[in-house]
Structure 1
């Protein structure tokens, strides 16, 4: 297996994720709710990548007793959330 780990910049990922969200025109009354939704989306994306990076670090050393690849184990862990 390669000795290079995959490391994703959580902040950049979260900002790019925010760019993909469809945001309709917001009136003044709905601005706080829209901001809360945007913040929740940003934080979810940010912490998901933080979790991925942490799991990738933990699983980088392969356990040769198991035939499952590192990335299959990481995806399995991420799917729990």
Structure 2
């Protein structure tokens, strides 16, 4: 891995505390719930990074047009082509 993921501990803790409080605080399960929250956060974080990388590779480097310059039909044809492989 060439880059480290840095999570702001204050922001993460505040979001966890808010969500945990909103659904009902369970003192005995707080560590388990925090781990689940972190797992969900990291899964979403890396999933969107993978998506962004794939989009960048398929829409900016392999075509003459950038994503935002494609017509709807060109975009649909590109997506159909990507789904074949």
Higher helix share: 2
TM-score normalised by length of structure 1: 0.48
TM-score normalised by length of structure 2: 0.47
Give the number of the structure with larger relative contact order, counting CA–CA contacts within 8 Å between residues 6 or more apart.
1
